[in-house]
Amino acid sequence: MLVELTQLTITGIRDSLTRKQTSAEELVQAHLAQIEMRDAEVHAYLWHSPERALAQARRIDQMIAAGEELPPLAGVPTAVKDVILTKGSPTTCASRILENYTAPYDATAVKRLEAAGACILGKTNCDEFAMGSSTENSGFGPTHNPLDLTRVPGGSSGGSGAAVAANMATVALGSDTGGSIRQPASFCNVVGMMGTYGRVSRYGLVAFASSLDHIGPFGRSVRDVALVLQTIAGRDPMDSTSADVPVADYAAALDRDVSGLTVGVPKEYFTGLNPEIGDNIQKGIDLFAKLGCKIESITLPHTDYAIGCYYIICTAEASSNLARYDGVRYGFRSPEYDGLRDMYRQTRDHGFGAEVKRRIMLGTYVLSSGYYDAYYLKAQKVRTLVARDFVEAFDEVDVIVVPTSPIPPFKLGEKLDDPLQMYLADIYTVTASLAGIPGISVPCGKMKSDPRLPVGMQIFAKHFDETVLLQAAHAFEKSGGFDMG
């Protein structure tokens, strides 16, 4: 019974609750038990908030007892990446520099989730300040891929991906700056989505690279992801960059027929990737053809420049966003120092991990006088070109289908000493981030050879066309795309 509860989708939970087959409290308890059972080896969670989840569950159960209309996410056990603020609980960004930091307010996305009835189970592990592609850069130890504990779950939102994959949460919030939701979704064989830039408020998301940061959902089905996205999406007066664009009922539109849609396949995404991954993606594309979609080969000519451009812009913004962790007002302060400047130096030297320091230095460099034009300004121009590629492509096609990652989940420690290799893991995800368009990663079968590692397929759509993107993903799922190969 307990095992079944942790496998339910949001729709399944709603059915069980309204039919009184289970209670929200039982649901939360089942997930806490699952965490108890699995998380010692997976290490998806950094902090648990059972009281908060149970209190919310009891509220939901009272509503059920009183015969009240249930909110859309009533009783849904939810995990939240530790870069997203949850009032009264630790929010550390998996960094030693915020080890003792308690969030004084809730992120808008968290507020909206709880208002919709979700039960927040705890905070998930990630790469420190969301910088990384394996969750090995956590200040509190790595997360293991529940599908193969010797491998990474991807990153930076590896904890959220792993929690959903291991049934330790029904859905989870992650953050995506250059692929940090889509890549771990791919590695953990679940669905992960980043909406259009501005679709979801960033208020309460600890900034890594403000012009690229998104909050987005993980789930085991496209419908769950759609339901979470439509709950957290929409204009927020606390975030000037959140868009005043109406939020459609994505879930209600999922079953619309996709025949007649044009699916673009850009050739630039099919060189240099693991051939078995390529095979699976090709099968995925064939499936769209079978569904009546028109497949069109397209070109996104500036793709090659995206990774360099991305790492200039994200490090530049990070170098400024992380300046506030200086030991003056909150967080870690080095116990030993000699004067103010040395306090800054010691605090930041000991508080930040190696990757964070590497990026702060890179970002400081590309913004410094004499280098700004050659790096930051040039990168901004390239970003415009990358975005234009997509705008032009979407004149011809409705969605674009590409692999999520050029490589399958790798072994822990395998790429840790080679940051450049690690950066290249983001090669297929950073383009959508730079362009600000929505992207989803859905499972696309397993690789042929042992150990049959999961493959993820990305679907992109144009700005604020989440509806068509989710429809395509849902059609793919319904036709067995997740389990093919």
Positions marked catalytic: 81, 156, 180
- Closest to 337 measured CA to CA, from 322, 326, 353: 326
- CB nearer other proteins, residue 103 or residue 435: 103
Segment contacting other proteins by CB under 8 A, of 47-55, 142-150, 199-207, 391-399: 199-207
Residue 3 identity (one-letter amino acid): V
DSSP state letter for 371: T
Contact pattern from residue 318 through residue 337 relative to other proteins, giving x for each residue in contact according to CB under 8 A and a dash for the rest: -xx-xxx-x-xxx-------
Whether residue 259 has a cis bond before it, omega within 30° of 0: no
Closest approach, Cβ 44 to other proteins, in A, equals 22
Closest approach, Cβ 256 to other proteins, in A, equals 33
**Contact pick of 63, 73, 85, 470 for other proteins (by CB under 8 A):** 85
Give the side-chain half-sphere CA count within 13 A for 113: 32
- CB nearer other proteins, residue 85 or residue 298: 85
Report the alpha-carbon distance of residue 433 to residue 75 in Å, rounded.
Answer: 32
Closest approach, Cβ 461 to other proteins, in A, equals 23
What are the backbone dihedrals phi and psi of residue 178, each rounded to the nearest 5 degrees, phi first?
-140, 15
Segment contacting other proteins by CB under 8 A, of 205-213, 296-304, 441-449, 458-466: 205-213
DSSP state letter for 137: T
Segment contacting other proteins by CB under 8 A, of 206-214, 417-425, 436-444, 465-473: 206-214
Contact pattern from residue 241 through residue 280 relative to other proteins, giving x for each residue in contact according to CB under 8 A and a dash for the rest: x---------------------------------------
Q: Hey, which residues between 347 and 376 contact other proteins (CB under 8 A)? A: 364, 367-369, 372, 376
What are the backbone dihedrals phi and psi of residue 462, each rounded to the nearest 5 degrees, phi first?
-75, 170
- CB nearer other proteins, residue 320 or residue 421: 320
Residue 27 sits in the site that holds other proteins (CB under 8 A): no
Tokens of residue 399, six digits: 């969605």
Residue 451 sits in the site that holds other proteins (CB under 8 A): no
Closest approach, Cβ 340 to other proteins, in A, equals 7
Report the alpha-carbon distance of residue 430 to residue 425 in Å, rounded.
Answer: 10
Q: How far is CA 278 from CA 282, 283, 284, 401, in A?
A: 6, 9, 10, 12
The Cβ of residue 217 has, within 10 Å, a number of other Cβ atoms equal to: 32
Please answer whether residues 23 and 59 qualify as being in contact, where contact means their C-beta atoms are separated by less than 8 angstroms: no
Q: Hey, which residues between 93 and 112 contact other proteins (CB under 8 A)? A: 93, 98, 101, 103-105, 107
Report the alpha-carbon distance of residue 41 to residue 281 in Å, rounded.
Answer: 31
- CB nearer other proteins, residue 21 or residue 368: 368
Got the DSSP string for 373-424?
IIIIIHHHHHHHHHHHHHHHHHHH-SEEEEES-SSPPPBTTSSTT-HHHHHH
Closest approach, Cβ 312 to other proteins, in A, equals 11
- CB nearer other proteins, residue 326 or residue 414: 326
The footprint of other proteins (CB under 8 A) covers 84-85, 91, 93, 98, 101, 103-105, 107, 202-207, 209-211, 237-241, 316-317, 319-320, 322-324, 326, 328-330, 340, 344, 364, 367-369, 372, 376
